[in-house]
Amino acid sequence: MVENTENTGAVLLPALHLLQENDNQIAADDVDCLARMLKLDPQEIWSVMSFYDCFNYQKDSRYILKVCTGICCSLNNSDRLIEHLKKRLNIETGETTANGQFTLETVDCLGYCGEGPVLQVNNEKTHPEMTPEKANELLDELRKRTDGQQ
């Protein structure tokens, strides 16, 4: 089934970003459609999506919190930040809060090595030099935003 051309790779990543833009996730139907359009096996697309931390292929929660665990962030206490978030949200890494509002994930690197530890919300806004205190303020702000929309 694979009729890969030189341009397919140049199109795949931007197409995945566009698919994710509206709902902060990429649905399985979207992957199948994209595979047909690009003449790829859907498994190839799933492989690319699982390689890059920036793609969400299932709806986890309203806010996906990603904490960098790269060497620079680790040296700046990202483990302390992760433990704080786990306790504050009452979840483990990879889990979603009971109300479906927050999912906590760790990623190998977010590319802000001089500003760690960093926390990223929904693959959009990155918060450098994050501390447990700043994380509390951010969580409160995100909760207020969600409460105001309901």
Are 82 and 142 found together in one domain? yes
* Residues 128-135, mean pLDDT to the nearest whole number: 97
Domain tally, the chain = 2
| Continuous H helices in 39-130 | 42-51, 71-75, 78-89
Burial status of residue 97 (CB atoms within 10 A of its CB: 0-12, 13-18, 19 or more): middle
Are 132 and 96 found together in one domain? yes
User: Which residues span the domain enclosing 87?
Assistant: 63-149
Are 21 and 45 found together in one domain? yes
Place of tokens 């409460």: 147
Residue 87 binned pLDDT confidence (cut-offs 50, 70, 90): very high
45 contacts 36 by C-beta, under 8 angstroms: no
CATH number at residue 144: 3.40.30.10
pLDDT at 149: 59
Q: Which of 17-26, 40-49, 56-65, 134-143 has the lowest mean pLDDT?
A: 56-65
Are 77 and 42 found together in one domain? no
pLDDT at 26: 83
Residue 129 binned pLDDT confidence (cut-offs 50, 70, 90): very high
pLDDT at 150: 45
Higher pLDDT, 29 or 89: 89
